[in-house]
Structure formats: structure tokens, C-alpha cells
Amino acid sequence: MQVTTTINETKELIKKWKKDGKSIGLVPTMGFLHEGHASLIQKCREENDIVVVSDFVNPTQFGPNEDLEAYPRDFERDSQLCERIGADLIFCPSPEEMYHDPHAFVSIDLLSETLCGKTRPIHFKGVCTVVSKLFNIVTPDRAYFGQKDAQQLAIIRKMVLDLNFDIEIIGCPIIREEDGLAKSSRNTYLNTQERSAALCLSRAVRTGQQIIQTGMDAEQVLAAMRAVIEAEPLAKIDYISMVDALTMQPVERVDRNVLVAMAVYIGKTRLIDNFSYEVSL
């Protein structure tokens, strides 16, 4: 497995692989890898000749009062996990390598304004910008993203469509701990009490999945889920919403494919979870 830190050496390697007719898969990550990331890298390994993992805590997707400095990092452990799965390259640039000032930005506005975009107004602009850069540097045939960040996945799909990237976007299912908590690098922020309180998110997801039916009032589903979270004293709801699966705009009835998504603070840690529901007409 090779490790690159500069855009030029990465492009050179890619050029060589492309000349040899190899297909290329990319898994963009912010590092501190866990089984969620591993499942994406594994799927990428199965479907491509060359597996590239990017490991970059992207400063432009963090707001001024967010956890950019505190975000966990462990490159040694990340590279061992990538090597074990059989990745060919980890690209881990510095912020200075990726950005200069002033810098162009990519923004997919409407879809970025709901759900997480309300609390994190610049977040998806940063995500779209860094993912566009990674797409142009690595020029993958396929790129892999987790359903855990469902709004991000929908925005990337729209970006690829609108900006004519010739890349297949593969969405991968949410990987959970045995007790249901969605795996996340931010779970490391939780103390013992908060870790058990955090189970209210997956509990609310299960409640929503059990009661949702085609034609139902969105509010009925959301109220039942809200009640689960509100029963947990350490939890504070940022949002729980039902949106159109493609446009990320709120819906009042379950009359099309929807995403039911939430962000909840457990103490100071903001966690997300969601499920999708396809209508049967």
C-alpha cells in the first residue's frame, strides 16, 4: 500500500494505473477509521482494481464553533486498517496542500439548507468542495459513501448529476454497534453515561420504522420518535424531520420515497441517525 501527501504524486500514480487499464474506486473519509469505513473500503475492494482511501479532516466543512481541533486522528491505526483490507493508496494531504486563499467553492444550495444544513450552514459547501477536488485528483470510476450521512449522499448524487462528473456513486448501509448505536468517529467523545443515553437515537429509528406506513401523516411518525428521544434526560433534539428522499425538502405525508433523519445532542456531542422508507403504491 502506498501513502501520498501531495496532489501531484497522487495524480502521477493514478495516471500510471489508468494507463494500465485499471478501474479505480475512491472512499473519501476524515480518518479515525472504524467498521463503518471498513465496510465501504471492503465494497470498494470487491468492485475495483485499485482502491484509494482519502484520509483528510476537511477544515472547510467545520463551522467556527465546531470540533475541527478536537476531531479524533490516528493515522497509524487508519493505515493498518486500510492495509488489512487491501487498499492500494491512502491519500492524506495537509490543509495547506488542499487549500489556498482565496479558493473556489462548490455549492448545491437547496438540498444543503434543510436537516443538518440548518445547524451547520457552511457544512455541505465544504463537503461538496473537498469531494469535487478529490474527484478531480483521483478521477475514480466509483466512489463510496455511507447512508449514515444520508443528506451528504443525496447532495453528492445531485452534484455528480448537475456537474457531469463521470463517476458512479455507491451508497452503503449504516453499520451499527451490537446494541444499535450507529458507528461514528464522534462516539469516542461519549462518557459511559452518555454512551448508554446515545442508544435513544437507534431506538427512535426502530420506533419510526415500526410505525411508518404509506399514506401516513409525517407528524405521527415524528411525534413517536420525538417521544423516545425526550424520554432520555441527557438528550436534546437538534432536529427530527421527514424529507423527500431526492430533494431533502420536508414532506407532510408519506406519499413518496422519504428519508427520516435526526441529529441529537448527547451532552455536547452531536450524533446523527436515519432511515429511508420507500412507498409501496
Ligand X SMILES: CC(C)(CO)[C@@H](O)C(=O)[O-]
Binding site residues, ligand ATP, CB under 6 A: 29-30, 36-37, 39-40, 145-146, 148-149, 172, 174-175, 182-186
Q: Among ligand BAL, ligand ATP, ligand X, none, what does residue 18 contact (CB within 5–8 Å per kind)?
A: none
Q: Which is nearer to ligand X, 156 or 251 (CB)?
A: 156
**How many binding residues for ligand BAL (CB under 6 A)?**
3
Please classify residue 91 by burial: count the beta carbons closer than 10 Å to its beta carbon, then call 0-12 exposed, 13-18 middle and 19+ buried: buried
CB of 128 to ligand X, least distance (A): 9
Angle CA(154)–CA(220)–CA(195) in degrees, nearest 5? Answer: 65
Q: Among ligand ATP, ligand X, ligand BAL, none, what does residue 175 contact (CB within 5–8 Å per kind)?
A: ligand ATP
> Is 225 marked as a binding-site residue?
no
Q: At what angle do helices 75-85 and 35-47 cross, to 10 degrees?
A: 40
Q: Among ligand X, ligand BAL, ligand ATP, none, what does residue 130 contact (CB within 5–8 Å per kind)?
A: ligand X
> Is 36 marked as a binding-site residue?
yes
Please list, in sequence order, all residues whose beta carbon lies within 8 angstroms of the beta carbon of residue 3, skipping any fewer than 6 positions away: 79, 89, 90, 92
Q: Which is nearer to ligand BAL, 183 or 236 (CB)?
A: 183
Q: Which is nearer to ligand BAL, 114 or 207 (CB)?
A: 114
SS3 of residue 109 by DSSP = helix
Could you say whether residue 149 binds ligand BAL (CB under 6 A)? yes
Q: What is the DSSP letter of 67?
A: S
Closest CA to 115 of 273, 280, 234: 273
Q: Which is nearer to ligand ATP, 87 or 182 (CB)?
A: 182
Please list, in sequence order, all residues whose beta carbon lies within 8 angstroms of the beta carbon of residue 149, skipping any fewer than 6 positions away: 272
> Is 158 marked as a binding-site residue?
no
Among 39, 61, 112, 129, binds ligand BAL (CB under 6 A): 61
The answer to whether residues 281 and 255 touch, using CB atoms and an 8 Å cutoff, is no
- Order of strands across the sheet with 24-29? 2-4, 89-91, 50-55, 24-29, 142-146, 168-172
> Is 147 marked as a binding-site residue?
yes
Active-site residue, 100 included:
no
CB of 120 to ligand ATP, least distance (A): 11
Closest CA to 132 of 94, 158, 114: 158
> Is 117 marked as a binding-site residue?
no
Q: Among ligand BAL, ligand ATP, ligand X, none, what does residue 172 contact (CB within 5–8 Å per kind)?
A: ligand ATP
Distance CA 223, CA 237 (A): 12
User: Which residue numbers are catalytic?
Assistant: 37
Q: Which residues are annotated as a binding site?
A: 30-37, 61, 146-149, 152, 175, 183-186
